[in-house]
Amino acid sequence: MKSSCRWQRSRFPLPLFAAVLGLATMPMLAAPLDARGSATEIVFASGPDDIGIVQRLVDAFNESNRGAIHVTWRQMDRESDAHRRQLVQELSSGAGGIHLFASDVIWTAEFAKNRWVEDLTRRFYKTLDREAFLAPALESATYRLRIWGVPWHTDTGLLFYRKDMLAKSGFTAPPTTWEELSRMARKVMQDSGTRHGFVFQGAEYEGGAANAAEFIWSAGGELMTSRLTVTGAVLPGVTETDSVLVGSDAAARGLDIARKLVVDKASPAAVSSFREREALQAFLAGESVFLRSWPYVYGVLEQAGFTPNQFGVAPLPAASASGRSAGCLGGWNLMINTKSSKSERDAAWKLIRYLTAPAQQKRQARESGLLPVLRALYEDRDLGKQVPVMALGKQVLTSGLHARPISPFYSEISAVVARTFNRTLKGELSGTEAVELLDKELKAIVLRNR
Ligand code: GLC
């Protein structure tokens, strides 16, 4: 490991490897009661904090707001779908147990439409600079021209590869097309005796929907789009039209590419049951040459002792040499539960400002490898050296927006996409049959929700 490595082992006694694989769980830390006094107490909920950075930031915030605000961090489920279910239950019941929470980029429309979260537009423009944020990240927190969350960290699908294994088979660069990836994967499997070529997420859940979208986009296909129409200059009205665009040959081709990887044995049949955890586990154990995942994996690999000579990271392959690579936009925004009291909401806003300020964004990137949301940090050379995946993240995020559909009923859309992708991977549907089904089912969802 490089001496400049941002994670010093001694600072993280809990083996990250075990934590990421779910073999250990971080205990929820809370300050002693006497440190809280009559402070405004708020609960901040987000996904697992494997390396403890969130707790460290919350502790620092509590320290500098001693006596005024006290934040308790609550761990939500690792998986986006389960995390959403926990939140929806909490928010729709009108409970105020969670005041501030991390929201996946795909939930903005649903949470905003149901008014479960505070409209942050005024607070945002009063104190923050729109231009300071990465545009795709801020767009993901916007619905019907209003801002409902402040971007916290951003994400995109990337290709991780074993540089050493590729070199052994005579390859000097990662693949740029899916076909090339398949050929390289099979050659390395033969030469190095590696069990799998390429692992990704094909299980029936949100990650599967993101992978499906990437295959479809990389072949030039689309899923669906939302168009806003703004009417009336004095009292503007906003209407939204959802159009399903999935029934194209290009979309079918994208799904066929995924299935062919399995048929050709470049990917194991088991990818249809893989989520982030199983795919990462295979790569960490040296059982796979290529892995599709999110940027946090870069930090996990470093922490697990992988050296820069052993692994690399690249944009996802395209369907053809002239095609486009399409990493799915992911990430998390900070939102405030509308059921909170005025003082709780003000305290939550203060924490949002703290977590999204340059110093904390920088520290979070340095210590966890999560991609920051502030544009200026991508020009910070020292940070770029300490978090090398940032350069690639920026390149992918600024080379065209590949966002999942923005819709208040996104969870219904996602379930259909993930199920259809999963069936295609198992060989139950051809690409053409899959997009016909998607077209029909997505149109039905749009009609049902009109
Ligand atoms: C990552 C992304 C998120 C996505 C999820 C899918 O957490 O940031 O946007 O929905 O993975 O598993």
> Closest Cα partner for 372 from 402, 350, 394?
394
CB of 214 closer than 6 angstroms to any ligand 1 atom: no
Widest CA span of the chain, in angstroms? 69
Q: Give the mutation target among 77, 134, 154, 206 for probing the ligand 1 site: most ligand atoms within 8 A of CB.
A: 206
Q: Give the mutation target among 76, 276, 294 for probing the ligand 1 site: most ligand atoms within 8 A of CB.
A: 294
Decide the pairing of beta strands 150-156 and 158-162.
Answer: unpaired
CB of 149 closer than 6 angstroms to any ligand 1 atom: no
pLDDT at 52: 92
Residue type present at position 442: L
- Which two structure tokens, joined as six digits, stand for 85? 């279910």
Q: Are 101 and 227 in contact (CB under 8 A)?
A: no
CA–CA dist 382, 22 (Å, integer)? 32
Exposure string over 92-123, b if 16+ CB within 10 A, otherwise e = eeeebebbbbbbbbbbbbbbbeeebbbebeeb
Give the Å distance between the CA of 167 and the centre of ligand 1: 31
Nearest CA to ligand 1 atom 12: 207
pLDDT at 389: 93
Give the Å distance between the CA of 65 and the centre of ligand 1: 31
Q: Closest ligand 1 atom to the C-alpha of 47? A: 7
- Which two structure tokens, joined as six digits, stand for 46? 């987000």
CA–CA dist 330, 197 (Å, integer)? 25
CA–CA dist 358, 146 (Å, integer)? 23
Beta-carbon contacts of residue 305 (< 8 Å; ≥ 6 apart): 1
CB of 137 closer than 6 angstroms to any ligand 1 atom: no
From first to last of its 450 residues, the chain has per-residue pLDDT tens of 333 333 332 332 334 444 444 443 334 444 454 456 689 999 999 999 988 999 999 999 999 999 999 999 999 999 999 999 999 999 998 877 999 999 999 999 999 999 999 999 999 999 999 999 999 999 999 999 999 999 999 999 999 999 999 999 999 999 999 999 999 999 999 999 999 999 999 999 999 999 999 999 999 999 998 888 888 777 777 778 888 999 899 999 999 999 999 999 999 999 999 999 999 999 999 999 999 999 999 989 998 999 999 999 999 999 999 888 999 999 999 999 999 999 999 999 999 999 999 999 999 999 989 999 999 999 999 999 999 999 998 888 888 779 999 999 999 999 999 999 999 999 999 999 999 999 999 999 999 998
Give the Å distance between the CA of 377 and the centre of ligand 1: 22
CB of 294 closer than 6 angstroms to any ligand 1 atom: yes
CB of 118 closer than 6 angstroms to any ligand 1 atom: no
Cβ count within 10 A of residue 408: 20
CB of 158 closer than 6 angstroms to any ligand 1 atom: no
Q: Closest ligand 1 atom to the C-alpha of 276? A: 12
158-162 sheet: strands from edge to edge? 196-199, 288-293, 158-162, 311-314
Give the Å distance between the CA of 85 and the centre of ligand 1: 15
pLDDT at 249: 96
Nearest CA to ligand 1 atom 1: 330
Q: Closest ligand 1 atom to the C-alpha of 209? A: 6
Q: Are 388 and 294 in contact (CB under 8 A)?
A: no
Give the Å distance between the CA of 80 and the centre of ligand 1: 6
Nearest CA to ligand 1 atom 4: 330
Give the Å distance between the CA of 293 and the centre of ligand 1: 10
pLDDT at 97: 92
CB of 104 closer than 6 angstroms to any ligand 1 atom: yes
CB of 344 closer than 6 angstroms to any ligand 1 atom: no
pLDDT at 23: 40
pLDDT at 4: 33
Exposure string over 385-399, b if 16+ CB within 10 A, otherwise e = ebbbbbebbbebbee
User: Helix/strand/coil (H, E, C) string of the chain?
Assistant: CCCCCCCCHHHCCCCHHHHHCCCCCCCCCCCCHHHCCCCEEEEEEECCCCCCHHHHHHHHHHHHCCCCEEEEEEECCCCHHHHHHHHHHHHHCCCCCCCEEEEEHHHHHHHHHCCCECCCHHHHHHHCCHHHECHHHHHHCEECCEECCEEEEEEECEEEEEHHHHHHCCCCCCCCEHHHHHHHHHHHHHHHCCCEEEECCCCCCHHHHHHHHHHHHHCCCCCEEEEEEEECCCCCEEEEEEEECCCCHHHHHHHHHHHHHHHCCCCCHHHHHCCHHHHHHHHHCCCEEEEEECCHHHHHHHHCCCCCCCEEEECCCECCCCCCCCCCEEEEEEEEECCCCHHHHHHHHHHHHHHCCHHHHHHHHHHHCCECCEHHHHHCHHHHHHCCHHHHHHHHHCCCCCCCCCCCCHHHHHHHHHHHHHHHHCCCCCHHHHHHHHHHHHHHHHHHCC
CB of 331 closer than 6 angstroms to any ligand 1 atom: yes
CB of 47 closer than 6 angstroms to any ligand 1 atom: no
User: What is the number of alpha carbons within 13 Å of residue 348 lying toward its C-beta?
Assistant: 30
- Which two structure tokens, joined as six digits, stand for 169? 């088979």
CB of 206 closer than 6 angstroms to any ligand 1 atom: yes
Residue the block writes with tokens 């996802």 = 316
CB of 105 closer than 6 angstroms to any ligand 1 atom: yes
